[in-house]
Amino acid sequence: MRRVVITGIGIVSPNGLGRQSFTDAISEGRSGVGPIESFDTSGQAIRIAGEVKGFDVMKYLGENKKNAKTMGRAIGFAVGAAAMAMEDSGIDVSRMDPTRFGVCMGAGITPVDIRELVEPIARGIGDDGFSLSRFAAARAGSMDPLWLLKHLPNMAAAHLSILHHAMGPNSTVVTACAAGTQAVGDAFRLIGRGDADVMMAGGCDSRIDPLMLVAYEAMKAVSHSLRPASEVSRPFDGERDGFVLGEGAAVLILESLQHARRRKARIFAEVRGYGSSFDAHGLTRPEPEGRGAALSMTSALREARIDAADVDYINAHGTSTRLNDLMETVAVKRVFGHRARKIPMSSQKSMVGHLIGASGALEAAATAISLDSGVVPPTINQSTPDPACDLDYVPNTAREMTSRTAISNSFGFGGQNATLVMSKFHG
pLDDT at 61: 94
The CA-atom distances, in angstroms, between 320 and each of 97, 236, 274, 413 are: 44, 6, 24, 14
Q: Kindly name the residue from 177, 204, 259, 389 that is annotated as catalytic.
A: 177
pLDDT tops 90 at residue 389: yes
pLDDT tens-digit series, residues 91-144? 999 999 999 999 999 999 887 777 777 778 888 898 888 888 888 887 776 677
Indicate if 104 belongs to the active site.
Answer: no
User: Using 50, 70 and 90 to split pLDDT, how confident is the model at 13?
Assistant: very high
Indicate if 204 belongs to the active site.
Answer: no
pLDDT at 185: 98
pLDDT tens-digit series, residues 53-85? 999 999 999 888 998 988 999 999 999 999 999
Percent of the chain with pLDDT over 90: 82
pLDDT at 160: 98
One-letter amino acid for residue 213 of the chain: L
Percent of the chain with pLDDT over 70: 100
pLDDT at 413: 86
pLDDT tops 90 at residue 260: yes
In degrees and rounded to multiples of 5, residue 246 shows phi and psi of -130, 180
First to last CA, the chain: 16
pLDDT at 305: 98
**What is the C-alpha to C-alpha distance for residues 109 and 103, in angstroms, rounded to an integer?**
19
Torsion angle in degrees (nearest 10) through CA of 314, 330, 242, 33: -10
Q: Kindly name the residue from 159, 259, 354, 389 that is annotated as catalytic.
A: 354
pLDDT at 163: 96
User: Using 50, 70 and 90 to split pLDDT, how confident is the model at 164?
Assistant: very high
Q: Kindly name the residue from 159, 164, 259, 317 that is annotated as catalytic.
A: 317
Asked if residue 203 lies in contact with residue 359, where contact means CB atoms within 8 angstroms, the answer is yes
Name the more confident of 217 and 138: 217
User: Using 50, 70 and 90 to split pLDDT, how confident is the model at 24?
Assistant: very high
Share the mean pLDDT of the chain: 95
Instruction: Tell me which architecture the domain covering 4-110+152-423 has in CATH.
Output: 3-Layer(aba) Sandwich (3.40)
User: Using 50, 70 and 90 to split pLDDT, how confident is the model at 145?
Assistant: confident
pLDDT at 99: 98
Q: Among the listed ranges 108-112, 158-162, 339-343, which one has the minimum average pLDDT value? A: 108-112
Mean pLDDT, rounded, for 343-360: 98
The CA-atom distances, in angstroms, between 114 and each of 35, 53, 122, 151, 356 are: 20, 22, 12, 13, 21
pLDDT at 111: 79
Domain spans of the chain, in order of start = 4-110+152-423, 114-148
Q: CB neighbours (10 Å) of residue 194?
A: 11
pLDDT tens-digit series, residues 190-211? 999 999 999 999 999 999 988 8
Indicate if 354 belongs to the active site.
Answer: yes
